[in-house]
Amino acid sequence: MRFPSKHAVIVVLLWAFAPLAWFLMWRDKKYHSWFPKLLWINGIIFGVIFITQSFMAIPRLNTVYDALHIHVPSYVHPTAILLVLLFLAGQILVGQLLQQKLNRKKGDAQKHFADKLVFPIIIIFALDGILGIITGLLTTLTPAALLQPAVKHFFSLPTPPAIISVVPTTPPVLPLYPSPTPVKTQKPLSFSEMNSKYGPCTRLPTLMYHHIEDLTLAKKLGQSGLAVSPAYFDSQMNYLATHGYQTIDPQKLVSFFQSGAAISAKSVLISFDDGYDDFYTNAYPTLKKYNLKSILFLPTGLVGNPGYLTWSEIEEMHASGLVLFANHTWSHKPMNAKDAEVEMEITTADRELSEHGLNNPKIFAYPYGTVGQFAQTLLKNLGYKAAFTTHSGSVLCTQMSLTLPRVRIGNEPLSGYGF
């Protein structure tokens, strides 16, 4: 667990400190006549804190707990909240009644009555303290950074960047989904079954990445589900390089589809989606270090925007021969949009890539993994030889060359993904 935010610590101290302060006051008898009032104030203050801390936080918390597979404690159940609020309202009422009773008494009788209140009130404060600490721990103590993606997801999606120069109308708004963890491969169809159904097929795992960036920053930016840390990325690339894997030229996949030219065992493709600037700063240096090839799926209309690659960076990386820049539409539009839009998106990106001497061989990736029949036909007509989805799998079949699966990689060792 990460260290809690300063705000959270203050709130928890407030919860715990108030009963403590009242306890200290109890030790001096001259304050005893204040107790009914304190009970009253206590009910209001803690009521407000409880509502803001717990009640308001529930939808957000549930998202966080779901993501972390934590069982949500029953006390945040609406009934439990109602009971706590009734308890606090009861305090206000009792405080009010006691105050009235106290006001009616005079002199020694008043003092005597106030002394009798001490014990029950201390019990109530102690209960408040315990309640407060538990609430605090379970709500605001939840790291703020952890809450942030959930909050963003709950209330709004990430703000799309402004567009420079040529203007795509819909820049990517990436869905927030949890970072993938390795799972045992489920095989509805065996390789030979796939081969006879959609073949010829080849086993060619295509790693899928989005952001390579510091995970703390990713959390801050609401990109946790799409980010692999530079250190993890380095160790994953190191694993490929030291375990006999080779990144093949994407042309070899095209040749396999066209003529069945065999792809050697332990071949992989590495793909990056969306053309974020962290590819240039965090991924490309590592790929160069291990001399690994990759495919970068680029929404061409977003090039040059804040957070995205620039054409000069793209040209520099293209010149290295290590990166193939490929079509990912113009503005990262889902491919189940209207035909005219799909056509504009694919053909514009196709043209812009060609204008920069890129896009050879022609390979495509569907934004958000949205496959559409019109898009497939269009891609075929434009000479695209392969198109990747976000479906999970490592077997690439000729008859499915325009709906190819990939392997989504998160912050886990590659051995966990079957490498």
> Is 334 or 393 the residue whose CB approaches Zn ion more closely?
334
> Is 267 or 327 the residue whose CB approaches Zn ion more closely?
327
| Per-residue CA distances from 356 to 56, 300, 306, 348, 363 (Å) | 51, 11, 20, 13, 15
345 contributes a contact to Zn ion by CB under 5 A: no
Q: How many helices (H) and strands (E) does the chain have?
A: 15, 12
313 contributes a contact to Zn ion by CB under 5 A: no
227 neighbors 212 (Cβ within 8 angstroms):
yes
> Is 244 or 306 the residue whose CB approaches Zn ion more closely?
306
> Is 367 or 393 the residue whose CB approaches Zn ion more closely?
367
> Is 274 or 313 the residue whose CB approaches Zn ion more closely?
274
* CA dist., res. 132 & res. 16, Å (int): 7
Report the nearest approach of Zn ion to the CB of residue 224 (Å): 16
Report the nearest approach of Zn ion to the CB of residue 272 (Å): 9
Report the nearest approach of Zn ion to the CB of residue 328 (Å): 6
> Is 136 or 367 the residue whose CB approaches Zn ion more closely?
367
Which among 136-144, 147-155, 318-326, 364-372 is the span making contact with Zn ion, rule CB under 5 A?
364-372
Phi-psi region of 332 (alpha: psi -120 to 50; beta: other; left: phi over 0): left
Sign (positive or negative) of CA dihedral 234, 239, 241, 242? positive
Biggest CA–CA distance in the chain, Å, is: 105
Phi-psi region of 55 (alpha: psi -120 to 50; beta: other; left: phi over 0): alpha
Which among 63-71, 195-203, 235-243, 363-371 is the span making contact with Zn ion, rule CB under 5 A?
363-371
Out of 234, 274, 345, 350, the only residue in the binding site for Zn ion (CB under 5 A) is 274
273 contributes a contact to Zn ion by CB under 5 A: yes
309 neighbors 261 (Cβ within 8 angstroms):
no
Report the nearest approach of Zn ion to the CB of residue 23 (Å): 58
Which among 110-118, 230-238, 300-308, 360-368 is the span making contact with Zn ion, rule CB under 5 A?
360-368
276 neighbors 309 (Cβ within 8 angstroms):
yes
Kindly report whether the peptide bond that precedes residue 180 is cis, defined as omega within 30 degrees of 0. no
Where do runs of H (alpha helix) occur along 187-245?
A: 191-198, 215-220, 230-242
Report the nearest approach of Zn ion to the CB of residue 174 (Å): 7
> Is 274 or 352 the residue whose CB approaches Zn ion more closely?
274
DSSP conformational letter for 295 = E
Q: How many residues interact with Zn ion (rule CB under 5 A)?
A: 3
327 neighbors 382 (Cβ within 8 angstroms):
no
Query: What residue is closest to Zn ion based on CB?
Result: 273
> Is 236 or 327 the residue whose CB approaches Zn ion more closely?
327
Q: Draw the binding track, 111-150, toward Zn ion (x: CB under 5 A; -: no contact).
A: ----------------------------------------
Point out which residues bind Zn ion (CB under 5 A): 273-274, 367
